[in-house]
Amino acid sequence: MNEEIKIGRHISSQFDQELDEVRSRVLKMGGLVEAQLEKTLVALRDGNSDAVADVAKTDQKVNQLEMDIDEECTQILARRHPAAGDLRLIIATTKSVRDLERMGDEAQRVAGMIEHALDNDIKKKYYKGLLSLGEHVKELLHSTLDTYARMETRSAVKNIRMDKSIDEEYGRVIIKLMDRMKSDPDNISDALDVMWAARSLERIGDHCINICENVIFLVEGRDVRHTEIDDLKEQLS
Partner 1 sequence: MNMKITQDISVGSIVHGDQAGSDTNPDSYVTVGSPLMEDPKMRVRSVDVFYAKKQAIFDVNFDIGRNEVVSMIGPSGCGKSTFLRCLNRMNDTIDICKVSGELLLDGEDIYSKQIDVVELRARVGMVFQKPNPFPKSIYENVAYGARIHGLTDNSVQLDELVEQSLIRCGLWDEVKDRLSEPATGLSGGQQQRLCIARAIAVNPEVILMDEPCSALDPIATATVEELISELSKNFTIAIVTHSMQQAARVSQRTAYFHLGKLIEVNDTAQVFTNPTHKLTEEYITGRIG
Residue among 137, 95, 81, 112 at smallest CA distance from 223: 95
**DSSP classification of residue 127:** H
Q: Based on the shown chain and the rule CB under 8 A, indicate whether residue 83 belongs to the binding site for partner 1.
A: yes
Specify the stretch interacting with partner 1 by CB under 8 A; choose among 5-13, 28-36, 144-152, 154-162. 5-13
Q: Based on the shown chain and the rule CB under 8 A, indicate whether residue 6 belongs to the binding site for partner 1.
A: yes
Q: Based on the shown chain and the rule CB under 8 A, indicate whether residue 81 belongs to the binding site for partner 1.
A: yes
For residue 10, the minimal CB distance to partner 1 (Å) is 5
Q: Based on the shown chain and the rule CB under 8 A, indicate whether residue 85 belongs to the binding site for partner 1.
A: yes
> By C-beta, is 90 or 140 nearer to partner 1?
90
Q: Based on the shown chain and the rule CB under 8 A, indicate whether residue 5 belongs to the binding site for partner 1.
A: yes
Q: Which member of 30, 47, 82, 134 binds partner 1 (CB under 8 A)? A: 82
- Dist CA 110 CA 194 (whole Å): 9
Q: Based on the shown chain and the rule CB under 8 A, indicate whether residue 3 belongs to the binding site for partner 1.
A: yes
Q: Which member of 17, 221, 228, 234 binds partner 1 (CB under 8 A)? A: 221
- Dist CA 173 CA 95 (whole Å): 30
Q: Which member of 63, 181, 220, 227 binds partner 1 (CB under 8 A)? A: 220
Specify the stretch interacting with partner 1 by CB under 8 A; choose among 38-46, 51-59, 76-84, 175-183. 76-84
- Dist CA 182 CA 180 (whole Å): 5
- For residue 152, give the 3-state DSSP assignment: strand
Judged on CB neighbours under 10 Å (0-12, 13-18, 19+), 76 is buried
- Dist CA 19 CA 159 (whole Å): 25
- Dist CA 169 CA 62 (whole Å): 28
> By C-beta, is 20 or 179 nearer to partner 1?
20
For residue 164, the minimal CB distance to partner 1 (Å) is 27
- Dist CA 13 CA 1 (whole Å): 31
- Dist CA 82 CA 1 (whole Å): 26
Specify the stretch interacting with partner 1 by CB under 8 A; choose among 49-57, 79-87, 123-131, 226-234. 79-87
- Dist CA 40 CA 123 (whole Å): 15
Among positions 27-56, residues that touch partner 1 (CB under 8 A) are none
For residue 16, the minimal CB distance to partner 1 (Å) is 10
> By C-beta, is 31 or 85 nearer to partner 1?
85
Buried b (16+ CB within 10 A) or exposed e, 8-19: eeeeeeebeebb
Q: Based on the shown chain and the rule CB under 8 A, indicate whether residue 171 belongs to the binding site for partner 1.
A: no
Instruction: List beta partners, residue 4.
Output: 152
Residues that bind partner 1 (CB under 8 A): 3, 5-6, 8-12, 15, 81-88, 220-221
